[in-house]
């Protein structure tokens, strides 16, 4: 069996702005996977992405993409990376034909036929100024560009934020199609955990510039659970199992880090699966 390669590797990466610090972050993204990068707004997701893309320089640590250090090979590495940001990166007066001309001078592997094929597939007019596009159309335009220079890695910062559910699902279908090819990988930053539950293989969760949890999404969902019980029952639960307790006049909601152990130890209490959103909210609350 072939060893799984890591397309992205961060080791003890730090960036200190004074009022915000990305602190000693380490995680990896396996080839052929969709990695959901989650956290609240301001958690450090965009800073991390800019460090991976070598847009800003880290203060400490090591970042490798395709096994190469980003600060030594960032220009060559960008040929294989497609980038989609929350805000469109093209001048509003540009149309599809203008963008095609510009991209020919940026990417050695730019594929004009593929680009206009995506514009047609996404129903994007090639002669219309992109500043007149809806938000959904602007995201599709960025994705068309990202997919038209034969990138092997897509890095996307909140690409589905602000889109209606129909367009969001359409985006997710495009991402699934991209990773059907085994050497294609996605790092998808989002605070919409519902999207990541549908598509992600791996999850990296940061809060306040610190890594909270990272690993296989299905394993994280399988391991964590919620107990909803009376306040007096909440006090009985073993502390090592408890991630966070929410106590109210109505009772208690407790995030457990091993729901199968909790079910064995406390058979009289109902232990339910937890969603990614519930896991994220409880961890954030515990860190406050």
The whole-number average pLDDT for the span 167-183 is 87
Q: What is the pTM assigned to this prediction?
A: 0.91
CB 190 within 8 A of CB 44: no
116-128: pLDDT as tens digits: 999 999 999 999 9
Residue 144 predicted with pLDDT over 80: yes
Alpha-carbon distance of 152 to 32, in angstroms, equals 9
Count CB neighbours of 43 within 10 A.
24
Alpha-carbon distance of 285 to 249, in angstroms, equals 18
Question: Domain-by-domain residue ranges, the chain?
Answer: 6-217, 224-287
DSSP character string of 183-220: T-EEEEEES-HHHHHHH-SEEEEEETTEEEEEEEHHHH
Cα–Cα distance list, 259 to 48, 112, 126 (Å):
31, 52, 53
Selected from 3.40.980.10, 3.40.50.300, 1.20.910.10, 3.40.50.20, the CATH number assigned to the domain covering 6-217 reads 3.40.50.300
């Amino acid at each position: 069996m072939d060893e799984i390669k890591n397309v992205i590797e961060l080791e003890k990466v730090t960036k200190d702005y004074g009022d915000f610090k990305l602190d000693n972050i380490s995680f990896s993204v396996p080839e052929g996977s969709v990695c959901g990068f989650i956290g609240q707004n301001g958690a450090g997701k965009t800073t991390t992405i800019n460090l991976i893309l070598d847009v800003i320089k880290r203060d400490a640590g090591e970042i490798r993409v395709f096994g190469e250090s980003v600060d030594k090979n960032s220009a060559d590495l960008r040929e294989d990376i497609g980038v989609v940001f929350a805000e469109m990166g093209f001048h509003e007066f540009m149309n599809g034909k203008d963008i095609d001309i510009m991209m020919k001078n940026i990417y050695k592997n730019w594929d004009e036929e593929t680009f206009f094929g995506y514009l047609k597939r996404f129903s994007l007019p090639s002669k219309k100024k992109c500043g007149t596009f809806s938000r959904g159309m602007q995201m599709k335009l960025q994705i068309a560009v990202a997919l038209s220079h034969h990138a092997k890695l897509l890095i996307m910062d909140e690409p589905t934020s602000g889109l209606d559910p129909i367009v969001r699902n359409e985006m997710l279908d495009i991402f699934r199609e991209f990773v059907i090819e085994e050497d294609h990988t996605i790092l998808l930053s989002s605070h919409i955990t519902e999207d990541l539950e549908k598509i992600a293989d791996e999850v990296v969760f940061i809060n306040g510039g610190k890594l909270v949890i990272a690993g296989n999404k299905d394993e994280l969902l399988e391991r964590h659970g919620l107990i909803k019980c009376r306040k007096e029952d909440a006090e009985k639960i073993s502390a090592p199992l408890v991630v966070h307790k929410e106590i109210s006049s109505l009772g208690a909601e407790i995030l457990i880090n091993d729901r199968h152990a909790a079910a064995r130890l406390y058979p009289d209490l109902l232990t339910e699966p937890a969603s990614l959103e519930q896991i994220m909210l409880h961890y954030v609350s515990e860190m406050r």
